[in-house]
Amino acid sequence: MKFLVAAIILCSLSLEVTGFVESIYQFGDSLNDVGNAILLPTIGPTLPAARPPYGESLPGKKPTGRWSDGLLIVDRIAELLNVPLLPPYLSNPNGPFPNGVNFAVAGAAALNFSVLSSQGIRPLFPVPGLQDQIGWFKSYLSTQCSTFTDCCSYLSSSLFVIGEIGVNDINSAITSGKTYQEIMEFVPLVVNATLQAIRDVIALGARKIAVAGNLPIGCQQFTMLDYNNSAAAGPYDADGCLQNPNKIATYLNQLLVSGIFNLTVDFPGVKVVYLNYYDAFQGLVQIPAAFGFDPKTVFQPCCGNGVLSDADVFCGGAEAALCGDPDEFISWDGYHLTQAAYSKIAEYLTLPVLSAAL
């Protein structure tokens, strides 16, 4: 690792400081998937995000593979940094991607299937995970540069956004019957996989990295249902969210922040910044009216059955109802958020994003 640290420092010293980024590389799951999942062979076209009313708030009301009515956090980050919206990697794996590309896949886990299986956990979704996404990036980068110095130069104006990632690992543990304590003991494995992905992109030449923490998963409608029927169930808090899953998310985020600090010590030539999704989302739940949301709909999805009682009626199905105004709702489909909610979270993250980008 000493050689890598020295190479990073030399690279940083030899390159001109370029200010804002010119390209973004996003890794993660459905919170930032802009279309990769619906491009997967066989299952892609059958996914809810491939059909209306997903994309309801986009021009032409056309579904793009975003798991929302409109734009996502990564889209707002791109707008903030004056970078064109990122294409999904699977739309053209050969590139080129002069302004970056999005590798995130809905349903992706931080851990690979073999590790999950070794823990007695059945993966919820058979889709490319974080490790696969890093592999895609390596494959693409090999077509653009050949040495570390060349790649460091190529990526000098690039921002890497890792996550949010890990919630699908946690939800897989829940549906596999793991107890609260077992899941808490499992969390460090999830965080270590995320930290390893960060090390991987650093080793490839990344110098500006933003790492997103997890949302308070105990405040998400269908996750609440999963927990209520699981061995990990627990009491509700004052906000109306389940305490145990939020404790799991908090623990995960704490470990992630600690790991990020260690990375900044290990790699002084690299900037790694934490994006606090948890607090940003919790604010929407606690004082929804202050952000323009209807307090009566905090725990109701805009698209779906509209009440927290039946997880079988999911957005995109023939029987799924659609609310009158998605901008008044925090939740889009019970798992994912509306464009309005994502926009508020992105606003909250403005300073750390700019810090990472500079």
**What's the burial of 346, exposed, middle or buried (CB within 10 Å: 0-12/13-18/19+)?**
buried
Q: Read out DSSP for 258-309?
A: HHHHHHHHH-TTSEEEEE-HHHHHHHHHHSGGGGT--GGGTTSBSEESSSTT
Q: What's the DSSP call for residue 214?
A: -
Structural tokens at position 125:
């979704």
Quick one: pLDDT at residue 330?
A: 97
pLDDT of 310: 46
Residue 126 has a CB neighbour count (10 Å cut-off) of 11
Query: How high is the pLDDT of residue 321?
Result: 87
| 84 close to 99: Cβ distance less than 8 angstroms | yes
Residues 140-166, buried b or exposed e (16+ Cβ, 10 A)?
bbeeebeebeebbbebbbbbbbbbbbb
In which residue ranges of the chain is pLDDT below 50? Answer: 3, 6, 13-17, 308-311
Amino acid found at 221: Q
Say if residues 110 and 28 touch (Cβ distance below 8 Å): no
CATH no. of 2-280: 3.40.50
Domain edges within the chain? 2-280
Q: Can you give the pLDDT at residue 10? A: 52
pLDDT value at residue 148: 86
Residues tagged active-site:
30, 333, 336
Whether 32 and 133 have beta carbons less than 8 Å apart is answered as no
